[in-house]
Structure 1
Amino acid sequence: MKQKIVIQMHLTCEKCRSKAMKVASVAYGVSSVAIEGEDKSQVVVVGDGVDAVKLTSSLRKKVGCASLISVEKVKPKVDTGKDKVTIVPCQTSCYQNPQVYVCESVSDQYSSGCSIM
C-alpha cells in the first residue's frame, strides 16, 4: 500500500532542504521525495511500507525541528485509455546495410626514416 507522508520542517536554506531530501530518500520503502509548500518547508515522501514516525524522528535528529502533518493512502491512477500508443509494424521490408571500413597501413619503402624532410 503506497502512502503519502507530509512532514513540516523549518527549512531556511538550500543546504537544509538538500540534507532533508537525502535523509528522507535513504529511508526504507521510499520511492519519491519532494519539497512543497509556499515557503518550501514541507517534505513530501511517497513510498510503500515507510514508517512515518521513524522517518520524522530521523529528520528531527539529523536536520532539525520536524513534525508529522499527515499520512494518507495514494490512490492508484485510473487508466482511461487516452494515452495509449499503438505500434504499427513496418509494411515494407527494412534492411540496414552494414558499413565496412578498411584500414591499411601506409609504409613508404623509400623513406629515409626522417619525417621532417
Structure 2
Amino acid sequence: MKQKITISLPVNEDKCRAKAMKIAVSTAGVISADMDPVKKQLVVTGEGVDFFGLMKGLKRKFRCATIIAIEEVKPPVKNPPPAKTPPKTPPKKCCKPCPCPPPSYSNSCVIPVYDSYPQNCTIL
C-alpha cells in the first residue's frame, strides 16, 4: 500500500532541510521525499513506510516534528476507451412502394381533417 505522509518540520536553514531529507530517504520503504520551505512541511511517499521509525529519527534531530496527515495514494483510474459504434448504413429500400408520398407532394392519400365548432362559439 503506497502512502503519502505529511510532516510539519519548521526548519529555516538549507543545512537543516538537507539533514531532514537525508533522514527521510534513509528510512526503509521511502520512494520520494520533498520539502516545501514555504509551508515548512516534509512530504514523504513510499510503499509500506514505517512512519513510527521515520518520526523517531526526525525527533532525535528536530524536537518539533509532528505528523500532519497520512494518506493512501491510489493509482490513477484509467478510463476505458469509448465503445466503438458501428458505421451508419443507409436504410434499406423496400420492395413495396409506399402508400403515401411525403407531405410535400400533393396526393389523394392526404385527407383533410375538419373540426366541428359549435355555431355559438365566442371568445371572452
With the shorter chain as reference, the TM-score category is 0.5 to 0.7
Aligned residue pair count: 81
The aligned residue for residue 16 of structure 2 is: 16
> Any conservation in 2 of the 1:4–1:46 contact (CA below 8 Å)?
yes
- Whether 1:36 aligns to 2:36 is yes
How far does the alpha carbon of each residue in 1:84-104 deviate from its partner, in whole angstroms, 9 at most, with x for none? xxxxxxxxxxxxxxxxxxxxx
* CA-CA distance at 1:57 after TM superposition: 1.7
Q: Distance in 1 between matches of 2:67 and 2:46?
A: 15
Cα distance in 2 between the residues matched to 1:37 and 1:12: 8
TM-score (normalised: structure 1): 0.62
Q: Secondary structure at the match of 2:66?
A: strand
Distance in 2 separating the partners of 1:69 and 1:47: 16
What SS does structure 2 have at the residue aligned with 1:59? helix
Unaligned runs of 5+ in 1: 82-117
TM-score, scaled to structure 2: 0.59
Task: Point out the structure with max Rg over C-alpha.
Answer: 2
Alignment of structure 1 residues 18-97 onto 2, 5 Å: 18-36=18-36, 38-39=38-39, 41-79=40-78
Cα RMSD between the aligned structures? 1.9
Letter paired with 2:35: I
- Deviation of 1:54 (Å): 1.7
Q: Which amino acid counterpart does residue 62 of structure 1 have in structure 2?
A: K
Q: Aligned in 2, Cα 1:76/1:58: closer, same or farther, shift over 3 Å?
A: same
Residues 22-79 of structure 1 show CA distances to partners (whole Å, capped at 9, x for unaligned) of 000010000000012624x101000011111221121010234200111010010234
Q: Which one-letter code corresponds to 1:19 in the other structure?
A: K
Tell whether the 8 Å contact from 1:9 to 1:64 is kept in structure 2 after alignment.
Answer: no
Identical aligned residues as a percent: 44
